[in-house]
Structure 1
């Protein structure tokens, strides 16, 4: 029961995660019906912003799913979901500009993005092995495995924390570009910002979840002594 009793620590993160997921879906779907005045597609906007920043060599591909949009710094490829790639909604434009913001970060050597990319392998390793090692240590009473599991999971927490400025900066860049380049009208900027702010909640939820999960591991470790 000692394991189950610590689950309460995660409740605030679970509540925020559920709220954030609902918020981003409802906000995106709401403004998916709001066509931008110029009739640009997400792909149009991404290409224009990439080119004006000298990123002619970054291709834009279509990827399946909803809100699966991302820029891959390892291959220098931008992938947009179909609703964003072909969509003319304010929501689509906001998301496409956000991903372009990541591409610009990569080109400029934005330090938080560089650090995040460097620790991705460690974070993935920690995410896959932290809990199995910790549970083995907990069951078999091996303190060194408990400590190693906590150390590995700490890499996941660091990754999530570094992700926050990366995402917020990409959204800020997106809004500035959409406004300064007159891609969206003043009336359209607000809903585009709402979409990106809603998406930011999911990153906050992920970070809070990771932090509370780490606290949970530490509590379990202390109770084991």
Structure 2
């Protein structure tokens, strides 16, 4: 992991990565401490799903921060089993540690229909409930709402993220995946409407949504 990251960092200037286990998280902290200007987020696959796990994550960021207080941790994905109470509790010590504007809560509002969570999975109502008092939340969308997914001939599947393009084209599945992709944008727009209708503001990911 370290060799690969440093290759892309030194060759292309890429400084952000997604970490999926405590070992690479630790290496990310060490790199920053040694002077590498890296940034990382923690993957949903690491399984932060309770305040104690989140506290460990944020204390680690504080412990390995530079003398100027900066940390490479810029966000972490909650496990899909997280609830609003966990995020509300964690928000309190995130603020106390000085990370409210630095470490973003990454919360999956929709997920792919297959191979990752039990369906139906839809956290939009919970997001609307929490967004007016917990700051710096990223609403993430990996699929359509369940009521749309179940009507698709080819519902979205997380395992297809790992298929080669050539294999997808050979199987004749590209048009299915294109529709799955557009469904994500439909989910983003649905969330934007819900937040707006409830008087809540948000910032769109400028490099993705125009």
TM-score (norm 2): 0.33
More helix by share: 1
More strand by share: 2
Q: Could you say which structure has the greater relative contact order, defined with CA pairs below 8 angstroms and 6 or more residues apart?
A: 1
TM-score (norm 1): 0.32
